[in-house]
Amino acid sequence: MSRLRIGLLGAGRIGSMHAGLIHHRVAGAELVGVFDVMPQSAQQVADSVGTTVFDSADELIAAAEVDAVAIATSTDTHVELMTAAAGAGKAIFCEKPISLDLSEVDEALSAVAEAGVPLQIGFNRRFDPGHAAVRQAVLDGTVGEVRQVRITSRDPEPPPLSYIEVSGGIFNDMTIHDFDMARFITGSNVIEVWAKGDCRVDPEIGAAGDLDTVVAVLTHVDGTITTIDNCRQSAYGYDQRVEVFGSLGMSTSENLLDHYTTNRTADGGHGARVPHFFLDRYIPSYLAQWESFVAAVNDGSEPVVTGADGRAPLVIAQAAWRSVREERAVPTNEFELELDQAEPTGTETWTPSD
């Protein structure tokens, strides 16, 4: 079978990671070109994996040798690029969030739907073996009827203030992964959000209008309540835990450790750190994400993280912001003319067909 030929838009931190994975480790795909508004960044990525630099996003999207477009540019360009790629009939992989403006999201999703091209959103954590095992414990009935979900997600260090200022705020930038995880684990949409937060890490973050330490409580259609703890700074590493509790049991995805050696002395037991950040923790999930995208495009099956799955967490994030500002629980339908938000689609765990 011929390999899926992918063109990459965006050669920053996340884009260059995608380039390396596609080139070195995804057997079914090859990287055929890259574009970035910073030509130097594009060149650096192109050199490292032996691919071509395009002069513009349009050119890359239009190129005959590009089967699929990977969008890893800044958020404010996603909608335009998705729309263009859809217009060109290309399969699309797009980093989260699609956009911070729901009407723009809807516009992009309409374009994709009209073109009938495959679209996958970059919620890579669904592909983490540990988190997927939690979802599996729901799917196969191990935990019974779901009642409560706990998610803890803490970054090692806050991003630069310049990034914070354009990020859309913690709920759109960081918690959005957890909002997606809550939908993935339960397979149930969120109808109400209560959130609270503060600046405990750095007052400059507050001065920029953002929060750095937050709690969000989500109520799902099926009655499940999800509790999320977030912080922008964690001295012990990148804390990533997911837990579901149901009528028959509980499933808990714990943090990994850098290694599994324990020293025991008169002072007790001493073990390794949790991985420092997402490149240390989630490479296997990024890899599986690419394999699932390639398989879906090749099979003509629907990608497991759809446009609707990209949209729903944005609604939750907006409700979270309103909850913090108005100090009340906010129904998600305040953001919808009619409540016809699709059920979470990619809620099977994905396994390579091998």
- State the CB neighbour count (10 A cutoff) for residue 333: 14
DSSP character for 328? S
Closest C-alpha among 281, 290, 278, 288 to residue 19: 290
Under the criterion CB under 8 A, does residue 234 sit at the interface with a copy of itself? yes
25 contributes a contact to a copy of itself by CB under 8 A: yes
Q: Which stretch binds a copy of itself (CB under 8 A): 6-14, 125-133, 163-171, 183-191?
A: 125-133
- Using the rule CB under 8 A, which residue among 272, 283, 298, 333 binds a copy of itself? 272
Binding to a copy of itself (CB under 8 A) within 281-340 occurs at 327-329
In the complex, minimum distance from the CB of residue 200 to a copy of itself, in angstroms, rounded to a whole number: 5
Could you tell me if 218 and 190 are in contact, meaning their C-beta atoms sit under 8 angstroms apart?
yes
Does residue 229 belong to the site contacting a copy of itself (CB under 8 A)?
Answer: yes
Tracing tokens 């890579």 back to the chain, one arrives at 124
248 near a copy of itself, judged by CB under 8 A: yes
Binding to a copy of itself by residue 55, rule CB under 8 A? no
What is the SS3 assignment for 303?
Answer: coil
* CB-nearer residue toward a copy of itself: 297 or 330: 330
In terms of CB distance, is 129 or 159 closer to a copy of itself? 129
Instruction: Give the nearer residue to a copy of itself in terms of CB position, either 55 or 258.
Output: 258
Which of 4, 22, 109, 137 binds a copy of itself (CB under 8 A)? It is 137
* Residue (of 155, 183, 156, 192) closest to 170 by Cα position: 155
Among the listed ranges 76-84, 227-235, 290-298, 310-318, the one in contact with a copy of itself (CB under 8 A) is 227-235
- Note whether 102 and 311 are within 8 A (CB): yes
Structure tokens at 34: 């890259």
Q: How many CB atoms lie within 10 A of CB 30?
A: 17
**Contact region for a copy of itself (CB under 8 A) — 72-80, 90-98, 102-110, 123-131?**
123-131
Choices 35-43, 92-100, 138-146, 300-308 (CB under 8 A): range interacting with a copy of itself: 138-146
d(CA 201, CA 206) in angstroms, rounded, equals 9
Please select the residue that binds a copy of itself; options are 43, 44, 77, 255, rule is CB under 8 A.
255
Residue 76 in the binding site for a copy of itself (CB under 8 A): no
DSSP 152-217: EEE-SSPPPHHHHHHTT-HHHHTHHHHHHHHHHHH---EEEEEEEEE-SS-HHHHHTT--SEEEEE
Q: Examine residue 104 and tell whether it contacts a copy of itself (CB under 8 A).
A: no
Return the residue of 62, 77, 196, 221 that touches a copy of itself, per CB under 8 A.
196
Q: Which stretch binds a copy of itself (CB under 8 A): 87-95, 239-247, 298-306, 307-315?
A: 239-247
**Residue 181 near residue 124 (C-beta atoms within 8 A):** no
Residue 65 CA to its chain's centroid (Å): 28
Residue tagged 């838009």 (tokens)? 9
Q: Does 206 sit near a copy of itself (CB under 8 A)? A: no
- Cα 68 to the center of its chain, rounded Å: 19
Query: Is residue 245 within a helix (H) or strand (E), and if so which, with residue range?
Result: strand 239-246
Give the three-state DSSP class for 60.
Answer: helix
Q: Which lies closer to a copy of itself via its Cβ, residue 101 or residue 229?
A: 229
Contact residues: a copy of itself, CB under 8 A: 24-25, 128-131, 133-134, 137, 142-145, 147-148, 150, 152, 154, 194, 196, 198, 200-201, 213, 215, 217, 219, 223, 225, 227, 229, 231, 233-237, 239, 245, 247-274, 327-329
